[in-house]
Structure 1
Amino acid sequence: MTHRRLIAVVFASVLSCWAPAPVYASPEVPMCVAEQARLVETTINVDRPWISAGGMCGPYAAPIALTEADPTSSSAVRAYRQATQLIAAARYEAARLKLDLAHQGLPRIADHIALQSARLELLRDRPDRAAIFFAEATESIHESVRVQGSFGYAFALLRADDPVGEAALHDLLWTYPALPERADLLFEHARSLLRQQRHDEAAQILHAIRVDHPGSHLAPRAGAELTRLARLGYHTPELTTEARVRIARELVRTGPLDKAKANVNELLETSLTPEQDARVHYLAGRLARYEGRWQAAETYLRTAQGFPSADVASTREIKDHANDMAQAAAAREKATVLVALSRLRARRAYAAIPSTQLRDMIRLASPAGLKDEVDDMLVALGARAGVASTTLLDAAMAAVGTGGEGLIIVLLNRVAKQDNTRYRAAALYHLGRAHERGGRPDEARSYYSTTLETGDEYYAIWAVNGLARLEAGSRIESPEGFSDLDRRGMPRAPQTADSELAGRLEPIAEIHSDTYPWIGRAADLLRIGERDSATAELFEAYLSWRHALGKPVARAGLDSVARADGRVHESIATDLRAARLGLSDSDRATLSSVAASLGDMGTAGGFAGPSFIETLPRAYEWLAVPAANRYGLDPNLLLAVMRVESAYQKHIVSYAGAVGLMQIMPRTGQLIAHALGHEDFSPADLLDPRTNLEFAAWYLTSLIRRFDGRLPLAIAAYNGGPHNVRRWMQECADQTSVDVFLEQIPFSQTHRYVRRVLVNYEAYRKQQQLPPPTLSVRLPAQRVDPLSF
């Protein structure tokens, strides 16, 4: 529940908080709540009504270790569970009374219960009361609860037409500039203004939604409301040419891309100012680049360069992209490449050119098919002593498809003879490939077998495929990364009783109540059946332990998504740091075991250490298998990507902003959502493992098919972007094979990423006694990619 879409969390389907809900069944807001808000005459008082005279001063003053044997705790747990049933039966008043009892009896998680009470008050059409409960949640010690509380507080005030609402909205958007539900809040603000007869202000906000959030599900509703206001005679902002350019920019950024292309093409035929023309041509260039239309991309970008712009950074970016596209477009044009080679050679003999420059010149000449030039440079390198192994290997790989196989073998032999080089396995494998291409199967078989003896897991996968091809006497073609439905039985989510897990946590919670309050909170959340929230609390405890170790996790959770920035790491007092470092090995083992029993292998691995991760747990398999089966994908591929992307951490956020188990970028998630028809998607949804795996399964399937079934290319595209993979293919020799192409990936991260995923994929398959993946070496033909993300 912790990271579900904020709109759903705040006011829509309260039922989704109590019972399993469809992955994408987010209600259409704000129409799911009563249309007429109850007006309040004065500013809402956020004093907590539940503070008793007996001194219960909030949930954090003095955490109390409550066990199931404690009658207060037991009755509070029962009250909470009864409240869920009453809400399901739409008996809201009775549910409110039960939640009040739960709130008083479970002070460690009073903030969580306050969130539930706030949602209930919204269902009761009491936004004024909801705001009070949301205000309590904003003081939580858990970042996700604070974000939800802050969002709900602003929303409830706007729904109540409270004068404080606008200031709360301003503060919220300033604190969380990337708040996933920004458009929803703005829409609610506009509705509040309309209820107050402030039509001009409402129209401005509706216009901003239409222009700045054109791909959202609220844009057409904002447009329809503006049309209604205009019919009633109120002034509404015009959709100017400048506004249309802004709409096109946002559509290119967040989709839907078909609308983006239509808008950009329409603007290209429109009379624009020079600055607008530059921006539109730049957008057209971006779309062409994503699709792999290099010449068209360069043309659009060069045109954009020709218009004056006051933005120096944008001008430089356009120029750099234009030069990149020109390089890609001309990579196979012999005349252009010959001119470039002549300039680099500068009338020198090849023997006088440094080795690394010769390698780069081979990279330039090979895609253009300049065989004589490539061979001459290979001869010069082969005759030279003291050349680094990496330079020899890179030059040999760049020459494949154009240079003579004998000359390539000379370079590879020099690398293979160096026992102490980490490139020996690569050289041995590619010697086998060179002999296979040359029609010498016995020599190829020998080199493949020797490659297996090196112990290199990545090249072993390719060597096994090479031996299989030789055995079959022809190329082996089979679907890569796909499989039949997993018929071994659908994996089940962990079934350990919540009360048992809570009991295992309680002794640790008592010892560390001051230093790790999240452990006791997790125990109480388990008692009331909130497993997702409990895992989030254990993760927060893990983050605090890491911080005490001096190894803080930079970005994680809803707060990082909403801020588009890292976590705020305040300095830790010396005594608190020492106390947190007092978490014993036994305690950490228990926390790891409980997290694993809850299915959170990321937190389990964090507490247990690398040895746990190295066992390759089949994390979230009960979600991965059905997601993979929907698209015919091998679930082991999802597990392998998850292992490399996040080490099974569902809350993690990368420096680049990628979110969750499969590290999906918010823009990619938005485009996937459009493709799947989930128009109410929010980047916060990517923190939900079910959504994250569903999107990743669809996207990986799409990439495999777009690259003609070549799994390694799809993996490279998942990390480096499909448009980059197509560009790298364009800059390789015409007869380059997949395995050779992978050696030439210029992004070092993507280069390593493909290897790591394939090795883990093979390991996960081995767990199920499945053979290594079958991989084709044929590079698919270049073509335009209409999906373009």
Structure 2
Amino acid sequence: MLKRILAALLTLTPASIAAADVPTRPLGGASELRVERLLCDPFEANKSTAIEGSPLGAVLEALKAGDGKRALQILATIEPHYPAIRDVFALYRGKAAILTGHLPLALESFRTAATSSTPDIVVEARTLGLRVLVELDPKAAHGESAQLLADYPELPETIQIFHRLAERLSAEGEGVLAGEIYRKIDLVAPWTVEAVDSLRRMEELRAQGVKIKPLDEVERVDRVSRLVRLGSPHKGKQAIEELLRDLPSSPDQKRRAYLLASRVARSEGDYRAMARYDALARNEPPPPARGKDDLESLERELASLRRGVPLARLSGPALREYAAFAGRHGMHERVAAALEIALRRTLPHSIVFDIAMIASGSGQDEKLVQLLRPLAARSDTLGRGARYHLARAHERLGEIEEARAHFFAIASEAPEDYYALWSRQRLEQTHDRVVERAELASRELLMPPARVSKKDPLPYPPFAELTLRSDEESAPKITHEELADRLRGVASLHGDLFPSLVRAEALLRLGDVDMAQLEIYETYIEYRAAIGRSIRRAGLISVAEGVNRTYERPVPAVLRARRQIDPLSREIIAEVAAAIGDYGTAIGLSARYHADDRPYAYAREVEAAAKAHGVDPDLLFAVMRVESVYQRRVVSHAGAIGLMQIMPRTGRLIAQGRGLDGFTTADLLDPATNIDFAAWYLARLLERFEGHLPLAIASYNGGPHNMSAWIDQHAETMPLDAILERIPFTETHRYVRRVLGHYEHYRAKRGAPMPALGLELPNNEPRADVVRF
């Protein structure tokens, strides 16, 4: 809808703007949409109106169809009766006015909407208002844009707005000012299509005699840095190659250039080139090239790791580093020597476990059994990990009965544990190698335990079971007016404390479920702030500002009253939130909802994305559970957005890879877009790592280039379950475990076991046809 409106804005001419006729009269006539039944007391339900035929639903349909005239007529009919949401009406009126060509009305409407109490509406209204002003008065827009960008430095539409502003200024004869803007676009956003066009426009302006300052050395390196960090891998590599052909003269800028080249080489898996550029950045000679089978050089490097200290006297970390180097280069005899030392010495248990993982797959399983058996006696996570890998060593030695005994014990004693998941995998994949008795017994442990609900029964109907989004004909239905009725009592009680509740009730009554969801979320944010657990970043406002949200602290009496809102009211708000699809808010507001219930949040969007990209929908639900706990508007400290927590750069590269024009990072707040992008990305990661699910999950969090590097740092014979133990990023290490656990539970809810998780590592040679971001 928004793209249609913006496209209409760009097609307007001064003549069409001046001739625009704006219909602001109310609807009338038998053929028009019947909304008069809603013009009674706003709290009165109209149960005959389905959501598709609701007033604001009709407005949105008209805007989507490009019928601004009809949208304005409907708005004029209903607006006087709902003063609490005049800003929402103004926002829609501005969009409709653009479609009719009446830009002065659009500008006036957006300025009214910008006075909203809802931050996301303010951002959208101010942004659209600036776009309109660019068309009406580009000089005034140039001045106003500075304030907008000061308030919203990460505004997603910045580059598009500035590019259009430069076009309008150039058309008005302001070539110097337009040239400055084009130059800035090329400098700060060189990966965009607007930057490519800006280069062409600058050449045209120079040909007309306009002086545009070329980039200096610092700016050149800054530009390449942005391409490497924020642009596509291909453009980043191309820019680095150009920079290396014409290196800056300044030592500092030359060092920056080499470090950027090192970063590009690392992302491509070219670690020799990375080491060479790192050495150049330190102003040192590049390391000598070493053949893959140059054992003499490897022995020298191993000796240098010891620093003249006998192997038996190395510290625990040094012994671990020695074993890791030997394992990475297939020097199994040296790994065996490190294992012997670890067996004879008393080392920290974490060091012993790491050395055992390094030695996995090196043919030293008898020593591994000896090394891991004492650790397996521990009752904590490290002990369970040691016991699992002890069982794996027995399995590799062909001692299947002993291995299965350990797997049974782990799966029975801690069924929710990560190692229980892997133990169930091994029980399933080894059952045909042992007697029938063990096979039958194993079947009882092949599914994770179901969560036992501890919730009290509701004192009112469970509206979460009556969803507006249900596609099943047999599912009970509930109208938006009935939900508004349910919210009415809470709004009348607490509307002074939480004005968003009054707005949500009005929006639900008029059928604007998405905007009602936003207002209920604002209520949730205010409640969290009152209890001292503020949500630091959420919504379009956080995407635009790029910093933590600021909250106006209410007077102590209001703050205390918000904090003390009664549990029943919170449960009613939570039920309404769940009924319109916002399980994240429901979980946050009421103890009756729990994230480990693992709801099928945004099921329609998930099923569509899964089908389009060939991904298991349960995997998408599991990732959503870990990434956002089903909150569609959450923004991380690092800037990841939405349900599946997609980074802005990743979103841009996915859009580029799929040929999607007009994408901005604000689109990631839309559940359908966010989930669709995540499904596409997970499908590419699964393809890159040859279907190995744990590696794809690790790459989703830590980056595919990092996952490839971690594989390369170990022996080719190391099994996958041992590689996962060696992930150095704590967050990614935990992330894989959490997603796999939730994935298994989602599968179990459908009565399906986990897919088999392979243990052999994929081909990790760099390829041009795989995703690199």
| TM-score bracket for this pair, using the shorter chain length | 0.7 to 0.9
In 2, Cα distance between the equivalents of 1:153 and 1:249? 33
Shift of 1:406: 1.7
Q: CA deviation at 1:726?
A: 1.1
- Of 157, 174, 181 in structure 2, the residue corresponding to residue 198 of structure 1 is 174
Instruction: Name the residue aligned to 2:610.
Output: 628
Q: 1:468 is matched by which residue type in structure 2?
A: E
Farther-moved stretch of structure 1 (128-137 vs 727-736):
128-137
For residues 638 and 603 of structure 1, what CA distance do their matches in structure 2 show?
19
TM-score by length of 2: 0.84
Partner of 1:114: 90
Residue 657 of structure 1 is matched in structure 2 by 639
Specify the alignment match of 1:174 in structure 2: 150
Residue 471 (structure 2) aligned to one of 486, 492, 496: 492
Helix, strand or coil for the counterpart of 1:583?
Answer: coil
Whole-angstrom CA distance in 1 between matches of 2:631 and 2:294: 46
What's the offset of the Cα at 1:395?
Answer: 2.1
Structure 1 position 399, deviation (Å)? 2.0
Verify: 1:441 aligned to 2:400, yes or no. yes
CA contact under 8 A between 2:4 and 2:66: conserved in structure 1? no
Deviates more, 1:334-343 or 1:657-666: 334-343
Taking a change above 3 Å as real, the CA distance of residues 352 and 213 of structure 1, as seen in their structure-2 partners, is closer
Summarize deviations over 1:352-401 as a string: whole Å, max 9, x none: 4444543344334322334344333323332345x443333222112223
User: Does 2:649 align with 1:667?
Assistant: yes
Code of the residue aligned with 1:382 in structure 2: it is L
What secondary structure does 2:680 align onto? helix
Distance 1:394 1:81, change over 3 A: closer
1:296 equivalenced with 2:287 (yes/no): no
Partner residue of 2:210?
235
Tell me which moved more, 531-540 or 190-199. 190-199
AA aligned opposite 2:343: G
Change (3 A) 1:80 1:423: closer
Which of 691, 700, 705 is matched with 2:682 structurally?
A: 700
Shift of the 332–582 alpha-carbon distance from structure 1 to 2, 3 Å rule, reads farther
**Distance (whole Å) between structure 2 residues aligned to residue 604 and residue 428 of structure 1:** 39
1:548 to partner: Cα distance:
0.7
CA distance in 1 between partners of 2:8 and 2:268 (Å): 35
Match of residue 159 from structure 2 = 183
Query: Which among 390, 404, 408 is matched to residue 431 of structure 1?
Result: 390
Q: Is the 8 A contact 2:224 2:240 kept in 1?
A: yes
The amino acid that maps onto 1:454 is E
1:396 and 2:366 correspond: no
> Do the aligned partners of residues 452 and 92 (structure 1) sit closer, same or farther apart at CA in structure 2, a change above 3 Å counting?
closer
Q: 3-state SS of the aligned residue for 1:662?
A: coil
Over 3 Å counting, the alpha-carbon distance change for 1:118 and 1:417 in structure 2 is same
- Work out the CA distance in 1 between the residues paired with 2:314 and 2:255: 42
1:780 aligns with 762
Deviation of residue 227 (structure 1)? 5.3
Determine whether 1:375 maps to 2:336: yes
**Alpha carbons of 1:406 and 1:673: their partners in 2 closer, same or farther (altered >3 Å)?**
same
Counterparts of 1:155 and 1:376, CA distance in 2: 69
- Residue 261 of structure 2 corresponds to which residue in structure 1? 284
Structure 1 residues 333 and 774 mapped into 2: Cα distance closer, same or farther (>3 Å)?
farther
- The structural deviation recorded for 1:423 is 2.2
Code of the residue aligned with 1:369 in structure 2: it is G
Name the CA distance, whole Å, in 2 between partners of 1:330 and 1:111.
69
Once the two structures are superposed, what CA deviation does each residue of 1:297-331 show, in whole Å capped at 9, x if it has no partner?
2223433444xxxxxxxxxxxx9xx99xx899999
What are the ranges of 5 or more consecutive residues in structure 1 without an aligned counterpart? 1-7, 15-26, 41-63, 307-318, 475-489
Provide Cα deviations, 1:563-593, integer angstroms capped at 9, x if missing partner. Answer: 1111113334211111112321111111111
- Displacement of 1:268: 3.5
Distance across 2 between alignment mates of 1:705 and 1:337 = 34
Tell me, yes or no, if the aligned pair for 1:461 and 1:773 is still in contact at 8 Å. no
From 4, 13, 26, the equivalent of 1:13 is 4
Aligned to 1:688: 670
Contact 1:187/1:205 (8 A) holds in 2: yes
Counterpart for residue 626 of structure 2: 644
Identity %: 34
Note the C-alpha offset of 1:710. 1.0
Letter in 2 for 1:430: H
Q: Give the 5 Å matches for 1:488-527.
A: 492=471, 496-527=478-509
3-state DSSP class of the match of 2:328? coil
Residues 330 and 125 from structure 1, CA distance in 2 versus in 1: closer, same or farther, beyond 3 angstroms? farther
Letter in 1 for 2:558: L
Query: TM-score of the superposition, structure 1-length normalised?
Result: 0.82
Structure-1 separation of matches of 2:724 and 2:609: 28
Tell whether the 8 Å contact from 2:311 to 2:319 is kept in structure 1 after alignment: yes
Q: Which runs of 5+ in 2 are unaligned?
A: 20-39, 435-468
- Letter aligned with residue 769 of structure 1: G
* CA pair 271-453 structure 1, distance change in 2 beyond 3 A: closer
Partner secondary structure for residue 13 of structure 1: helix
Contact 2:391-2:403 at 8 Å conserved across structures: yes
Over 3 Å counting, the alpha-carbon distance change for 1:424 and 1:329 in structure 2 is: farther
1:129 aligns with 2:105: yes
- 1:554 matched to 2:536: yes
Looking at structure 2, the residues matched to 203 and 355 of structure 1 have their Cα atoms a distance apart, in angstroms, of 61
Q: Is the 8 A contact 1:199 1:234 kept in 2?
A: no
Q: What residue identity is the alignment partner of 1:439?
A: G
Structure 1 CA distance for aligned equivalents of residues 654 and 322 of structure 2: 40
Residue 466 (structure 1) aligned to one of 399, 405, 426:
426
Q: Which residue of 2 aligns with 1:254?
A: 230
The Cα shift of 1:258 comes to: 2.7
Map residues 562-581 of structure 1 onto 2, 5 A cutoff: 562-581=544-563
SS for the counterpart of 1:209 is helix
1:582 and 2:558 matched:
no
1:31 equivalent to 2:10? Answer yes
Aligned-residue offset at 1:78: 7.4
In the alignment, what sits opposite 2:731?
749
1:770 to 752, 756, 770: 752
Residues 132 and 329 (structure 1 numbering): CA distance in 2 closer, same or farther, change over 3 Å? farther
Tell which deviates more after alignment, 349-358 or 645-654: 349-358
Question: More displaced, 722-731 or 249-258?
Answer: 249-258
Residues in 1 aligned to 2:281 and 2:304: alpha-carbon distance in whole angstroms: 28
Amino acid at match of 1:496: I
- CA shift for structure 1 position 346: 4.7
Q: Post-superposition shift, 1:725? A: 1.0
Give, in angstroms, the shift of residue 184 of structure 1: 1.5
Deviations 1:415-455 (A, max 9, x none): 1123x333232122211211222232232222222222222
Change (3 A) 1:221 1:607: same
Q: Is the 8 A contact 1:173 1:179 kept in 2?
A: yes
Q: Is the 8 A contact 2:699 2:706 kept in 1?
A: yes
Residue 549 of structure 1: CA displacement? 0.6
How far residue 731 of structure 1 moved from its aligned partner, in angstroms, is 1.3
C-alpha change, 1:33 and 1:102, in structure 2 (3 Å) is: farther
Inter-CA distance 510–274: structure 2 relative to 1 (3 Å threshold):
same
Measured after TM superposition, the shift of residue 617 of structure 1 is: 0.5
Larger RCO (alpha carbons 8 Å, 6+ apart) = 1
Instruction: Describe the superposition over 1:263-293 as per-residue Cα deviations: whole angstroms up to 9, x where unpaired.
Output: 4334433475456655544433222211111
CA distance in 2, matches of 1:94, 1:368: 71
Give deviations 1:478-537, integer Å, cap 9, x for gaps. Answer: xxxxxxxxxxxx973996311111111111111111111111111111122211111111
Contact kept in structure 2, 1:592 and 1:605, CA below 8 Å: yes
Task: Indicate how the Cα distance of structure 1 residues 271 and 429 shifts in structure 2: closer, same or farther if over 3 A, else same.
Answer: closer
* Aligned partner letter, 2:551: H
Q: Comparing 257-266 with 90-99, which one deviates more in the overlay?
A: 90-99
Distance 2:266 2:62 in 1: 55
| Whole-angstrom distance in 2 between the partners of 1:556 and 1:738 | 37
Query: Which amino acid letter does the alignment assign opposite residue 217 of structure 1?
Result: V
Distance 1:156 1:705 in 2: 44
